[in-house]
Structure 1
Amino acid sequence: MLPAFWILVRTYAPYVTFPVAFVVGVVGYNMEWFIRGKPQETKEEQSISEQREERKLQEITGKDPTEFVSLKDKLEFTPRAVLNRNRPEKKWD
């Protein structure tokens, strides 16, 4: 009797599983909606690239276009040698 039962379960499993999964999904969706409550209205947020462009525009408008960084100051932003061994101001003993 048990093998016949397993054959029936295996044969009709999709027909039983789908409605059960559907009911579980609907109940879970409604419970989540009930727990979270009514969705709050959110204003549209800017994308990351738009936020970056806005920030760069604010930086540009806040600066004097005639002022610029001298080449001596830019030297500090150049890639440095490993452990600063090749820089004359640093002496390694």
Structure 2
Amino acid sequence: MWPVLWTAMRTYAPYVTFPVAFVVGAVGYHLEWFIRGTPAPPQEEKGILELREDRKLEELVGRDSTQVTSLKDRLEFTPRAALERNRPVKS
């Protein structure tokens, strides 16, 4: 009789364990929700691009936008080996 009982339990185990696991999971979920309480609404977080745009706008507030550096002055930041031939010699 025991082999027949074990064979039946092994055959029908998924049909028995799934509802039991579902009930245990649902009870655990609701118990955890009851203990923790209602969750706080998520805070609106700014993305990286939005933070960068805000920072750039704050930097531009105090500056005069008509005063820009010339391209000749910007050539000083290029590597010397790349533009050595075409760079005018400073006296």
Say yes or no: TM over 0.5: yes
State the SS of the aligned residue for 2:58: helix
Structure-2 change in CA distance of 1:4 and 1:46 (3 Å): same
* Aligned match of 1:3: 3
Moved over 6 A (4+): none
Query: Computing the radius of gyration over CA atoms, which structure comes out larger, 1 or 2?
Result: 2
Secondary structure of 1:55's match?
A: helix
Distance in 1, Cα, partners of 2:49 & 2:9: 55
Structure 2 runs not aligned, ≥5 long: 80-91
Q: Tell me which protein shows more helix as a share of its residues.
A: 1
**What amino acid sits opposite 2:10 in the alignment?**
R
Query: How many aligned residue pairs are there?
Result: 75
Structure 1: stretches of 5+ with no match in the other structure: 79-93
Stretch of structure 1 that moved more, 45-54 or 6-15: 45-54
Equivalent residue number for residue 50 of structure 2: 50
Distance 1:62 1:22, change over 3 A: farther
Question: What residue in structure 1 maps to residue 82 of structure 2?
Answer: none
Q: Which residue of 1 aligns with 2:26?
A: 26
Rounded Cα–Cα distance in structure 2 between residues aligned with 1:2 and 1:55: 75
Q: Whose RCO is larger (CA < 8 A, sep 6+)? A: 1
Percent identity of equivalent pairs: 55
Q: How much does 1:67 deviate? A: 5.2
TM-score by length of 1: 0.57
Partner residue of 1:41?
Answer: 41
Alignment root-mean-square deviation, CA: 2.6
